Amino acid sequence: MCGIVGYVGAGNAQDIILDGLSKLEYRGYDSAGISIIESGKMKTRKLSGRLGVLAGSLEKDPISGTIGMGHTRWATHGAPTDDNAHPHTNGKGTIAVIHNGIIENYRPIKDELLALGYKFKSETDTEVIAHLLDHYYEGDLLQAVFKTEARLRGAYALVVMCESSPDEIIAIRHESPIILGVGEGENFIASDIPAILKYTNKVVYIENKDIVRLTRSGYEIFGEDRKRIDRQVRTIEWDLESATKEGYEHFMLKEIYQQPSVISETINRRLDENGSLFLENIAIDEDTIKLINKIYVVGCGTAYHAGLVGRYLLQEFLKVDAQAEIASEFRYSDHYIDDKTLVVIVSQSGETMDTIGALKAAKAKGARILSITNVVGSSIARESDDIFYTWAGPEIAVASTKAYTTQLTAFYILALYFGKLKGTLEDKCYDEILAELKTLPGKVEASLPAFAEKAKAAAQEIKDSKSIFYLGRGLDYYTALEGALKLKEISYIHTEAFPAGELKHGTIALIEEGTPVIAVATQQSIYEKMVSNIKEVKARGAVVTGITRKRNTDLSEVADTVIYLEESFNIFMPLLSVVYPQLLAYYTSLAKGNDVDKPRNLAKSVTVE
Ligand code: F6R
C-alpha cells in the first residue's frame, strides 16, 4: 500500500525522501509525489508512474530544502493520475498532506467544503483533508490538525506540512501504521522501517490515534486525549542489508532460498539448553489451555493458507474443535465466541486491515488472542494477549514465501507446546515430532537446487497456458491452494486449486488436451485415491506433474513428471511440498517477463478493507 516518508533536519530533503520511498517500493504503488519547503515556499511535484519518473523530473529541476515529505500512492479513490497523486494541497498550495488509508466520510465533508467555495483538483478522498486544514488554520498547524482529525472517519496515516511553519511536520496514525525515526538534529516519519534505516535505527512505533509533531530538534507525541505522552524508543536490530537482494536477481528468489535459515531461526529461538520448547511472549498456562473449547485460526491469503494447516495441527494435538477462517469474512460473521475461545491471528506484516478487524471483533467478544506475526511491535502484536514472532526477517517480495513456511513452523511449535501442556500429546510423540521438526531446514535446503532446475524447465512449458490446476487432498489441498495463489499472483495465469475428489462434480469439464495439472500427493493414507484422480485428468488430456514423497516411485507411471520430496511425517509435508510451487511461480513469472517482486494490482501490506 502507499508509502510515506517525511524528513526534517539539515540534510537534503529531496534525496532523503526519494531514497526512503525507493525502500518502500515493495509495498506496491502507481504514482509518486513530494512536497518540500524551499526558501520559505512550499513546492509540490507529483507524477503518475514509477518513482523513477518523479526522480527524473527532480533531477532536471530539483527542489532544495531541509524539510519535506514524499508519497507513493496505490490508487483507491480515483485513477492513478498526476492530479490524484499525493501530496494534496489547499488552493494556495501552502498546506500539503499525504495519506495512507481511506477517509470513509469524505463525501459529506467534500460537499460542505464545496459549499464554502473550496475547489477540488482530484478525485481522491485525501484532498478534503488539505482543504479542511486550510479551513481550520489560524496560525497554529497543530490546532488545525486536531480540529481536522476530529472530523475524519476511517483508517488513515496522515502527514501534514505548512509553508508558514517551516520547522514542523505533523503526522497522525489512525489504524494505518506509521513510525517515527529519531535522529541527531533530524527526525523522520515513515510508513515502514526500511525507509529510514539508512539514517537511524532508533524508532518509535506511533500508537493508534496518536498525533506526532516533529521538528529538527525533537518530537512530541499526543495521545488520544491530545495530552502529551511518552512512547518507547526501540532500537532496530536488523540492518538494511537484510532488506536488499544480496546478489539474487529478485527478493522473491532470495526469500525462497532463505527458508532453511529462517525456519531454523524460528525453531532455535524456542529451544532451551536441553533442546525442549519454551515460548516467550506466550502466557497461556496449563489451566488456560484446558479451558479453551474452541479455536479459530484467522488470516488473509497466504497467511490463511498457513492457518488451514495450523487449524489441523491444533485440532489434532489439542483434541479441541478448531476452524480456519478468512479474516474479511470472519470479522463480519456471527460466530459464537466467548472467553473460552482462542483466536489465532496469522499475519506476516501484522498490519493487514481485515485481520486487525477480525482480531478486534473477536477480542470484543472476550476471546483470547494469540498472534503469529513477523513484525515486532506491529499493530496485531500490540493488540494480542500472546505473540509468536516468526523471525523470518523482512519479507520484501509481494508474493509471500518465507513468511508462509515460518508460519507453518510456528504452528508446529505451538501445537506441540500446547499439546504437551494440555496432556493431549504423549511425551513420546512430542519427542519424536520435535526431533523431526529440527530436521526440516536441512530437508528444504537439500531440495532447493533440484527443484530450481525442474521449475525453470517447467516454467517454459506452462508459461503460455490459459489455465492451470492444482489438486490435493487433506493437508495437500492446502499446499495446492498456496501453490495456485503463488502462481496466479505473479504469472497472471489463471490457476485454481481443487480438492482432488471434488473435480468430477464440475471442474473436470475444464480439463482439455494439454492443460497443466499439478497434483500434490504426499499423504500416504489417501495416496491411492490421489493416483485415481490423476488418472482421471490424464484420461482427459491433462499434462500432470506429481509432487510426492521419495518412496512413491510408482507415481512416475501415471504422472508425466514427478517431483520427489524428502521423507518426513505426514504433518510436515505441507512445509516440504510448497517449495517447488514457490519456485515454479517464480520462474514462470520470470519467463513471462513480469515484475516478479511487484506484481500488478497488488500491494505488500494491505492496509485497506
Ligand atoms: C500472497 C500474499 C498475501 C498475504 C496477505 C496477508 O503471496 O502475500 O496473500 O499473505 O495479504 O498478509 P499478512 O500476512 O501481512 O497479513
Q: How much of the chain exceeds pLDDT 90, in percent?
A: 81
Distance in Å, CA 496 to ligand 1 centroid? 18
Q: Which of 198, 172, 174, 173 is nearest to 186 (CA)?
A: 198
Report the nearest atom of ligand 1 relative to the CA of 373: 14
Distance in Å, CA 310 to ligand 1 centroid? 16
Residues in the chain: 609
Q: Is 604 a catalytic residue?
A: yes
- CATH assignment, 3-240: 3.60.20.10
CATH 3.40.50.10490 in the chain, residue ranges: 245-438, 448-591
For the chain, what is the radius of gyration of the CA atoms?
A: 25
Bridge partners, residue 373, by sequence: 347, 389
Angle between helices 440-462 and 259-268 (to 10 degrees): 150
Specify the amino acid at residue 313.
L
State the catalytic residue, choosing from 254, 422, 488, 604: 604
448-591 CATH choice from 3.40.50.10490, 3.40.50.880, 3.40.50.1110, 3.30.450.40:
3.40.50.10490
Report the nearest atom of ligand 1 relative to the CA of 304: 10
Report the nearest atom of ligand 1 relative to the CA of 355: 16
CATH 3.60.20.10 in the chain, residue ranges: 3-240
Mean pLDDT, rounded, of the chain: 93
Q: What is the pLDDT of residues 140-186, one digit of tens each?
A: 999 999 999 999 988 789 999 999 999 999 999 987 889 999 999 99
Q: Is 504 a catalytic residue?
A: no
Cβ of 487 below 6 Å from ligand 1:
no
State the catalytic residue, choosing from 2, 43, 162, 486: 2
Q: Is residue 74 over pLDDT 90?
A: no
Q: Looking at per-residue confidence, does 246 or 274 come out higher?
A: 274
Per-residue confidence (pLDDT) for residue 30, from 0 to 100 = 79
Q: In what order do the strands lie in the sheet with 386-389?
A: 322-326, 294-299, 341-347, 368-373, 386-389
Cβ of 352 below 6 Å from ligand 1:
yes
Q: Which of 93, 92, 160, 173 is nearest to 126 (CA)?
A: 160
Distance in Å, CA 604 to ligand 1 centroid? 7
Pocket test for ligand 1, best of 27, 348, 390 (most atoms within 8 A of CB): 348
Q: How is residue 230 annotated by DSSP?
A: -
Cβ of 399 below 6 Å from ligand 1:
yes
Mean local confidence (pLDDT), 561-570:
97
Mean local confidence (pLDDT), 237-245:
66
Bridge partners, residue 520, by sequence: 547
Report helix, strand or coil for 53: helix
Distance in Å, CA 357 to ligand 1 centroid? 15
Distance in Å, CA 605 to ligand 1 centroid? 7
* Residue owning the nearest CA to atom 8 of ligand 1: 400
Q: Is residue 360 over pLDDT 80?
A: yes
- CATH assignment, 245-438: 3.40.50.10490
How far apart are alpha carbons 430 and 426 in whole angstroms? Answer: 6
Structure pTM? Answer: 0.73
Q: How is residue 252 annotated by DSSP?
A: H
How far apart are alpha carbons 290 and 318 in whole angstroms? Answer: 9
